[in-house]
Amino acid sequence: METQSTWQKIWTWIDLRGRREGGIGFILMRLTAIGLVVYLALHLTMISNLARGPEAWDSFIKLVKLPIFMVGDTLLIFGLVYHAINGIRVTVLGLGWGGDHQAALFWGAFVLSVLLTAVMVTAIVAIG
Amino acid sequence: MRTLKLRILRGSPTRRRYYQIFTVHLHDEANIIDGVAQVFGEQDHSLMFRHACHHASCGLCGARINGRERLMCITPIAEFPEGATVTLEPLRNLPWVGDLAVDVKPFLQKMDQMGLPYSRSDELAPGPEPGNRFEDCIECGLCMSACPVVSNLKYLGPAPLAALARVLEEPRDVDPTGACEIARGPHGVWRCHSAMECSEVCPSNVDPSRAIGWLRRRFITGK
């Protein structure tokens, strides 16, 4: 008999086949969590440029104002907002409430996250 | 009559794994299990699969049908268009024996720990002569396969936790102290991440995710 290897266990986490809203919500929650941890590490590394003086900081700011970073910002905002809103959904469902509406709650959380992300990205672009 | 192509995961831990396609011809009222039985009877007698009752009572014929956990005996072929290819794979999160067969022993051991009696005493089965009504859970393991957290085999999983909830609802002389300790522990109710797939795939209306939430509320309030 065969038991699962570590890689198979990880694959089970992200295997989308046969998943419905709850499973997709779970996978997105995992991915956004990993993304936010990676971002935090990057953020702390980048912010350390402050210790290297104004020139280093200014050149870093110039770099992150390139349009390509806007894509990263959009993903970051979506990840943050989705993780927060879905966290509320998971808390409610985890206490055994609203299970009959979990799919609708997922789509609600997803659409709200997209809308809030759009509003925030628009505001960032408008501010320049 | 309807023709389907069954694309079945073959192999075992000691043999090569591959997908083999079998063409089957079935009556429109048939279920997927009939197609698998036809393959076994007429095309390849080495095919491994579990089955018994063919009416969703024994819980043996669970498999992933096009990626989704279902009982093959109550999955009508009429769901699939003529000539469609239907992929059949064994359940996840249980040791693979070979082809569509998995070893359910680790799952049943967890169920045993919860001590759920097979029949209820708070509700009689309807009929001309009232008798004991069985518990809803048929121990098919679909929820254990669908749950993404059960890939960590230490996690108790949806069905055992739902069984504990039933024991607490109706103890029937079962002492739930030990099972509650396990459920409160690091591999119990708090490992659930509310992916809700267990309740989605359950063929028997057990609703494990609701039961886990109920257990959590009970543990939080110190009951």
B71, B102, B133 — which closes off a domain? B102
Say whether residue B219 is in contact with chain A using an 8 A CB cutoff: no
In chain A, the residue whose alpha carbon lies closest to the alpha carbon of B210 is: A96
Give the residue-averaged pLDDT of B17-27.
Answer: 97
- The three-state secondary structure class of B69 is strand
Say whether residue A32 is in contact with chain B using an 8 A CB cutoff: no
Count: domains in chain B: 2
- Whether residues B87 and B151 fall in one domain: no
3-state SS string over A41-106?
Answer: HHHHHHHHHHHHCHHHHHHHHHHHCCHHHHHHHHHHHHHHHHHHHHHHHHHHHHCCCCHHHHHHHH
The DSSP output letter for B42 is I
Flag whether pLDDT at A14 surpasses 90: no
pLDDT number for residue B42: 97
Question: CB-based contacts of B160: which residues, under 8 Å, 6+ apart?
Answer: B107, B110, B111, B113, B114
Per-residue confidence band for B128, with pLDDT thresholds at 50, 70 and 90: confident
Instruction: Render pLDDT for B180-200 as a digit per residue (tens, 0 to 9).
Output: 999 999 999 999 999 999 999
- Whether residues B198 and B131 fall in one domain: yes
Per-residue confidence band for A55, with pLDDT thresholds at 50, 70 and 90: confident
Return the structure tokens found at A39.
Answer: 């971002």
Question: CB-based contacts of B8: which residues, under 8 Å, 6+ apart?
Answer: B19, B20, B21, B22, B36, B39, B47, B87, B88, B89, B99, B100
Say whether residue A88 is in contact with chain B using an 8 A CB cutoff: no
Say whether residue A93 is in contact with chain B using an 8 A CB cutoff: yes
Return the structure tokens found at A15.
Answer: 């295997």
- Whether residues B92 and B118 fall in one domain: no
Whole-prediction pTM value?
Answer: 0.88
Give the residue-averaged pLDDT of A45-72.
Answer: 86
Give the residue-averaged pLDDT of B152-163.
Answer: 90
Return the structure tokens found at B79.
Answer: 């769901």
- In Å, how far is A88's CA from the nearest CA of chain B? 11
pLDDT number for residue A4: 62
- In Å, how far is A124's CA from the nearest CA of chain B? 33
Are the C-beta atoms of B175 and A58 separated by less than 8 Å?
no
Closest CA to B62 of B7, B138, B113, B117: B138
pLDDT number for residue A63: 86
**Which range marks the domain in which residue B172 is found?**
105-220
Give the residue-averaged pLDDT of A55-67.
Answer: 86
Residue ranges and CATH numbers for the domains of chain A are 19-127 (1.20.1300.10)
Give the residue-averaged pLDDT of B55-64.
Answer: 96
Residue B27 has φ and ψ, to the nearest 5°, of -65, 150
pLDDT number for residue B37: 97
Per-residue confidence band for A82, with pLDDT thresholds at 50, 70 and 90: very high
Flag whether pLDDT at B121 surpasses 80: no
| Residues 30-49, chain B, touching A (beta carbon < 8 A) | none
B102, B133, B162 — which closes off a domain? B102
